[in-house]
Amino acid sequence: MTQPIRVIQYGLGPIGCAVARLAASRDGLTLVGGVDIDPAKAGRDVGEVAGLPAPLGVPVTRTLAETLDRTGADVVLHTTSSYFDLFKPQILEILEAGLDVVSTAEELSFPWRDHRAEAEEIDAAARKAGKTVLGTGVNPGFLMDTLPLALSGICQEVRHVAVTRVINASTRRGPFQKKIGAGMTVEAFREQMAAGRMGHVGLPESMAMLFDTLGQRLVRYEDGVEPVVAETPVETEHVRVGAGQVRGLRQVARGFTDTGEFAVLTFIAALAEEDDGDTIRLTGRPDLEVRLRGTNGDLSTVAIAVNAVRRVHEAAPGLVTMRDLPVVSAW
């Protein structure tokens, strides 16, 4: 009988805990450890921290080395930061320990355009270790890149790609509502956006994957963010928004070839947003339009990370993207 794949959960925030719970429930996977720098979590049972129905009998450790002193492992599920300067040392540490990596770090999903040097460093480390690294998630990782590319397989020609994602953030966790600026004044929102690291991360990576895979040269990239302002008060479990305050954001990325716009990616996330769903339009031969309902970002990100474990563990060494793997499916 095939041995279960032993996984370590690296990062036990809300998403990391949800990933750990799903991994622990899967036949074919065994959750053998958890890593988190939070001193309030270190030393407690992984099952308790993750919200499992029973303890696992292994403690959360503050470092990967401490966990590996207690157990062997095959794959690390990595859910810490979006940004290369923060997660790159963690990925390199995991590879040096001889483990495959499935990460939800957005900038890792297709890093070859904006972070080529860092991507090459991780790719070289992965090949040296004989291990595989994947960055994935619902977006980037699926809705705005992998899925449109799969749909293009039934087109003879693609002249334009448009993907729109609309999220009713009232149903999402508190950190996400904060991330989109809910409850801020418009002035504070614009100041935070100018400072960077607020709003959605990953549109440049999705755009680069689309262009590269469809054989187009990305000569210009534009990305703008505007606040979505509440006309009437909005209140959720996590935040209260007055009329005139920000209830979310609208972010639009455009990619151009020498002859004009080839792709537009629109991301709207706001409290009390009614038109929740995802729309993919490919203009070409034939024209296609696909509309999705129910793609909950948290549930879907957790699912695709756990579902990718088997594919990554079986893949050839190196830094790979979702387009490089066989179809990732529920199992």
Query: Cα–Cα distance between 124 and 318 in angstroms, integer?
Result: 7
131 and 200 share one domain: no
The mean pLDDT of 201-209, rounded to a whole number, is 97
Percent of the chain topping pLDDT 90 = 93
263-302 pLDDT, tens digit each: 999 999 999 998 899 999 999 999 999 999 999 989 999 9
Which tokens in the block code for residue 151?
């749909």
The C-alpha atoms of residue 132 and residue 302 are separated, in whole angstroms, by 19
Residue 121 falls within a domain, yes or no?
yes
**Quick one: 23 and 118 in the same domain?**
yes
Pairing of strands 318-320, 100-103: unpaired
What is the total count of domains within the chain?
2
Residue 215 has pLDDT above 90, yes or no: yes
What is the per-residue burial (b if ≥16 Cβ within 10 Å, else e) of 167-193?
bbbbbbbeebbebbbbbbeeeebbeeb
Q: Are 154 and 287 in contact (CB under 8 A)?
A: no
Claim to verify: residue 154 and residue 101 sit in the same structural domain:
no
Same domain, 157 and 87: no
Pair (174, 279) in one structural domain = yes
Q: What CA–CA distance (Å, rounded) separates 106 from 193? A: 18
pTM of the model: 0.94
In a domain, 331, yes or no: no
- Tell whether 183 and 117 lie within a shared domain: no
Residue 95 has pLDDT above 80, yes or no: yes
Same domain, 249 and 167: yes
Pair (162, 115) in one structural domain: no
Instruction: Output the CA angle 156-162-163, nearest 5 degrees.
Output: 115
| Cα–Cα distance measured from residue 164 to residue 254, given in angstroms and rounded to the nearest whole number | 12
CATH number of the domain enclosing 150 = 3.30.360
What percent of the chain is modeled with pLDDT above 70? 99
The pLDDT, as a whole number, for residue 171 is: 86
- State the pLDDT at residue 195: 84
Within a domain: 30? yes
List the CATH number of the domain containing 75.
3.40.50.720
Is residue 188 situated within a structural domain? yes
Task: Judge whether residue 205 has pLDDT over 60.
Answer: yes
28 part of a folded domain: yes
What is the average pLDDT score of the chain?
Answer: 96
pLDDT at 198 over 80: no
Q: In this predicted structure, what is the pLDDT of residue 174?
A: 86
1 pLDDT exceeds 60? no
> Do 199 and 125 belong together in one domain?
no
Residues 287, 307, single domain; the answer is: no
Domain membership flag for residue 95: yes
Return the pLDDT at 147. Answer: 98
- End-to-end C-alpha distance for the chain, whole angstroms: 17
**Boundaries of domain holding 286:** 146-293
Cα–Cα distances (Å) from 191 to 179, 183, 184, 217, 227, in that order, read 14, 14, 10, 33, 12
Residue 329 falls within a domain, yes or no? no
pLDDT for the residue 199: 77
> In terms of domains, do 119 and 256 share one?
no
Does residue 330 lie in a domain region?
no
Residues 287 and 303 in one domain: no
The secondary structure of the chain, three-state, reads CCCCEEEEEECCCHHHHHHHHHHHHCCCEEEEEEECCCCCCCCCEHHHHHCCCCCCCCEEECCHHHHHHHCCCCEEEECCCCCHHHHHHHHHHHHHCCCEEEECCHHHCCCCCCCHHHHHHHHHHHHHHCCEEEECCCCCCCCCCHHHHHHHHHCCEEEEEEEEEEEEHHHCCHHHHHHCCCCCCHHHHHHHHHHCCCCCCCHHHHHHHHHHHCCCCCCEEEEEEEEEECCCCEECCCCEECCCCEEEEEEEEEEEECCEEEEEEEEEEECCCCCCEEEEEEEEECCEEEEECCCCHHHHHHHHHHHHHHHHHHCCCEEECHHHCCCCCCC
The mean pLDDT value for 228-247 works out to: 95
pLDDT at 331: 82
